């Protein structure tokens, strides 16, 4: 749900968590996917590759 845009507070309420930290435990997969997407698409990645070619 989080990966498809659901608000973390909504997910917290659905799961019945009183503390947001309990819900945050489920966000680790999303953070890893975000990190991989950032590394794959960040503009500096292309600039570094072009600099190495010259």
Residue pLDDT, tens place only, 8-42:
899 899 999 999 988 888 777 667 777 888 888 88
Task: Read off the tokens for 30.
Answer: 């999303």
Residue 27's pLDDT is 74
What residues contact 35, with CB distance under 8 A and at least 6 apart? Answer: none
pTM, full prediction: 0.49
Residue 17's pLDDT is 92
- Measured CA to CA in angstroms, residue 2 lies from 11, 18, 35, 41, 52 at distances of 8, 18, 15, 21, 37
């Amino acid at each position: 749900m989080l990966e498809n845009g659901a608000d973390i507070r909504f997910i917290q309420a659905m799961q019945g968590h009183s503390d947001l930290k309990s819900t945050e435990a489920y966000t680790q997969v999303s953070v890893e996917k975000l990190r991989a997407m950032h590394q794959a698409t960040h503009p500096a990645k292309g600039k570094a590759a072009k600099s190495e070619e010259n």
